[in-house]
């Protein structure tokens, strides 16, 4: 089945210790997104890739970086996690050919705990 996979599902890190979250997809979608979602809040877009083009949201902290080495994989790097970065991190994909459709398909998420 075509899908979006995130690893690990749960990640515990220490304050200030770098962490990398990964996302892979078998949908062959050209757009990949990273969202941060805290409890009872809306998913917040951090950045997205349209093919190789990287687009950072203006309010995404510099502490968050991303890499997309190929169509299938995308990584979220948190360089120095703070307690406020504890959240669910969601990877999503969509296919953008023409028009305004932007139906996004989400992976299961990675729950990040910062000690």
Partner 1 sequence: QKEVEQNSGPLSVPEGAIASLNCTYSDRGSQSFFWYRQYSGKSPELIMFIYSNGDKEDGRFTAQLNKASQYVSLLIRDSQPSDSATYLCAVNQGGGFKTIFGAGTRLFVKA
Residues 6+ apart with CB under 8 A from 68: 32, 49, 52, 54, 74, 75
Contact by Cβ (8 Å): 33, 48: yes
Alpha carbon distance 84, 58 (integer Å): 18
> How many CB atoms lie under 10 A from the CB of residue 106?
14
Q: How far is the CB of 10 from partner 1 (least distance, A)?
A: 11
Which one among 14, 15, 54, 102 touches partner 1, defined by CB under 8 A? 102
Which residue lies nearer to partner 1 by CB, 30 or 65?
A: 30
Minimum distance, C-beta of residue 80 to partner 1, in the bound complex (Å): 26
d(CA 100, CA 45) in angstroms, rounded, equals: 18
Q: What is the DSSP secondary structure assignment for residue 41, as one 8-state letter?
A: S
Only segment of 16-24, 37-45, 61-69, 71-79 that touches partner 1 (CB under 8 A): 37-45
Choose the binding region for partner 1 from 12-20, 21-29, 64-72, 107-115 (rule: CB under 8 A): 107-115
User: To the nearest whole angstrom, how small is the minimum distance from the Cβ of residue 49 to partner 1?
Assistant: 10
Interface residues with partner 1 (CB under 8 A)? 31, 33, 40-45, 48, 50, 55, 57, 88, 90, 96, 99-109, 111
């Amino acid at each position: 089945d075509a899908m979006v996979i995130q690893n690990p599902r749960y990640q515990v890190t220490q304050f200030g210790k770098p962490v990398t979250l990964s996302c892979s997809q078998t949908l062959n979608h050209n757009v990949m997104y990273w969202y941060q979602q805290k409890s009872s809040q809306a998913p917040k877009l951090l950045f997205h890739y349209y093919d190789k083009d990287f687009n950072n949201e203006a309010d995404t902290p510099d502490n968050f970086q991303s890499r997309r080495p190929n169509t299938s994989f995308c990584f979220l790097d948190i360089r120095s996690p703070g307690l406020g970065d504890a959240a669910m991190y969601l990877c999503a994909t969509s296919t953008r050919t023409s028009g305004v459709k932007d139906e996004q398909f989400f992976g299961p998420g990675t729950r990040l705990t910062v000690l």
